[in-house]
Structure 1
Amino acid sequence: TAVLPAGTAAAVAPDAAKRLLAEADRLLAGHGGWFGVARDDLADPDWSYDPRTGRRAPGGYAFDVPYRDEDAVGDIKQIWEPSRHQYLTVLAAAHALTGDERYAERVAALLRSWWAANPPLRGVHWTSGIELGIRLLSWVWIRRLLEGWPGAAALFEDNPVALDQIWHHQRWLAAFPSRGSSANNHAVAEAAGQLAGSCAFGWFPSSPRWRADALASLERQLRSNTFGSGLNRELATEYHGLVLELGLAAVAEADAAGVPVPAVVRLVLLRMTDALAAVVDGTLRPPRQGDADDGHGLVVDGAGTDRWGSLLATGDAVFGRLDWWPEVTGA
């Protein structure tokens, strides 16, 4: 896994560092929540529990779990969201920023807990490709952000359980791509996670094939999900942000691994960034339209971070800012 460039932590703006550490400390204390439901059990969660309904998803063979049946499973979004492990990336980012091993040790404990509770193809967390793709992208960044912690290798590349989980995530994504009505942002997340995982965790005989197939799928899905103007074809602002985040994260991983990325992929992402710059208002807020599920491709910052300003700043770093783009003074 490629490491962060030297000086990255020192370059984080003081306000951003303050937000990140405040959020990480809240999570370290076990507090968080999703979709308006507070959680106080995140230090040692039941990964199959839905706090909204009080129900717990059944175990067993993944494809026998009726995850769309709330009476049988609970609110699936409440169950899936913590297992995207984006609150673990926040804790890992706090470790990268401070070197405080409490954050790394909590991340390690939570990953080991999840792996033990969710063996391959067992339970509700093995039923949806978008969940596996985003989770795999989170693991890539967790490993990167834990670089320098003495236990990092033992948690990942020297850990047979981790290797088994990473292999099965990539094998699942290769075998069960989303089709039909799900071939939208779901398919982009699957391709992005597969590409990131096969670049950063290229430890398996199938890694080159997974990498090539994921890159081809990412190109195909980005093109089919994006108008020539750069706007997302689902005509949903939040999905535009999600797809752009996923695409940028995947391309960054390919670049870090020295994997050539087709020019059309960068062109689509540039057009998406350009379209975002065109629709935000003077406070960098885009219009609220279409479906939304609060989904993010990657989370490494604290609460209150300006998502849209952050995306425009990332576009500036990746493509170079176009003259007419709005100024981003702090994200």
Structure 2
Amino acid sequence: MILNRYFIMIKVGVVGYGTIGKRIVDASVDSGFDVAIAVRRYTPKLDIAIERKFPLYSMAGDIGIETQGDFEDFVRECDVVVDCTPKNIPAENFSYYKNVKVIVEGGEKHSLTGFSFSSFGNYEEGVNRERARVVSCNTTSLVRTLIPLKEYIDNVFVTLIRRSVDPWDVKGGPINAIVPVLKVPSHHGPDLNTVVPDISIRTMAVKVPTTLAHLHVVRVKLKKNMTKEDLKYIFENTPRIRVLSGYKSTADIIEHFRDLGRKRYDMPEVAVFEESINVESGKAYWIHVVHQESIVIPENIDCIKAMFGEKDKWKAIYETDKTLGIEKKKECYR
């Protein structure tokens, strides 16, 4: 059990036990929170939750397994609900969320909660909130890498090479195509601006037939001088960013985290290719990798802490990172 600074036990209710939901359950348990899970139907993925004896609740009557109650019972039992169901379903669930704090994920519209959260960008605005949206995997990576450079930034242009589906998904695609996002600029820049409105950013995106991770090619026009060494130093001393040398692909990067023995080979950090870091003619460049399955998990745990009154941003971030085993030296958290 974890106690916040006001010594109140927090019970986290996770709606959905898919890619994000199961990871938030694990991170919540590791953080010491009590947890409960609500699902619409039984799938074999739930067997692990059943084996671990997590309290399960049904959102749709009899789902063929033993449950502790219905969705209304679930909401009453929880202090905060993290809705990890597929896009647009959280909006359908909102009528149930009375007298409980709620977090939704980045696939939902900003207007659903009226507040989008990302730890580095606006942690303080999340303190004691009742509703929050944790921004998407791609936006999370941009907030983490751009906020430490904010004093240097004139404007930003990013090309996103997006993975097609998660590794487990056998129904999605493309299989043999590169699919451009034809709306230019893409939605990713405006999404960053829901957290940091004063960064000028434009983005374009394509989807490619890979499942491992997204990749961002970033160009920042500078308004203040910096060197390649300055940029590398900033990244190396910023939490939740890993600068990796000698790696040549997303496959290499993912294999590195497999070799580290990470659970599910998760990479909650942004991985920056060291060789891509450059500053030339008033512009900074780099390429980074985004593990879409796990990058938002630390921000969800931070958001819970903020909503329950933890005002110290860097204390919250450091404790989350330490719990997840991704912490850097303490002086990076400032």
TM-score by length of 2: 0.28
Greater helix proportion: 1
Greater strand proportion: 2
| Bigger Rg, which one | 2
